[in-house]
Amino acid sequence: MPKFVDTSAPGDCIFCRIVRAEIPSALIYEDELTLAFMDLGQVNPGHVLVATKRHATNLYEITKEEGAAVMNTVQKIAASIERTFNAPGLMLVQANGKEGEQTVFHFHLHVLPRHANDGVGLLWPRKEPGMEALKSYAKMLTKNIQEIELQGIPAS
């Protein structure tokens, strides 16, 4: 089945319209910063999306408060999914950018119940480049974290 890709303008995207109740959705939960609703696509029954109420394109644009609120909502939804759909497994998927397979450019996180042999797959091409390369990657990342901590993400 082809993927749905939302190409509407920021602030007028499909999730902003769901937040404003301009288009129907099967809502589950909301609080000040987040909204949880059923994914139209339902990869497995009980597949839920948790989105920020404010339009933020991706992970880099949400505030610390929104990030914490999203994870608090996700934990509640996950516990409800486990109970409601007797799901022995659960997967969180959060995509950023076209290359990251993001299709609606408003921050959201998939909460997906998983069952044995449910046909869901994830390609995971391990490379194992060795400890020297790992240490080099770690050094570069740590350096950038120090800069990011000074600048803040997002700027707020």
Stretch of residues binding Zn ion (CB under 5 A), selected from 14-22, 57-65, 91-99, 121-129: 14-22
Stretch of residues binding Zn ion (CB under 5 A), selected from 21-29, 69-77, 95-103, 105-113: 105-113
107 with 61: CB under 8 angstroms?
Answer: yes
Q: Identify the DSSP state of 103.
A: -
Instruction: Find the binder of Zn ion among 55, 74, 81, 111 (CB under 5 A).
Output: 55
Stretch of residues binding Zn ion (CB under 5 A), selected from 11-19, 73-81, 86-94, 146-154: 11-19
Please, which residues have CB within 8 angstroms of residue 137's CB and are 6 or more apart in sequence?
none
Kindly state the smallest distance separating residue 114's Cβ from Zn ion, in Å. 28
Task: Give the 3-state secondary structure of residue 144.
Answer: helix
The catalytic position among 55, 106, 108, 110 is 108
Angstrom distance (rounded) from CA 69 to CA 125: 32
66 with 33: CB under 8 angstroms?
Answer: yes
Q: Does 47 bind Zn ion (CB under 5 A)?
A: no
Any catalytic annotation for residue 108?
yes
Q: Which are the catalytic amino acids?
A: 108
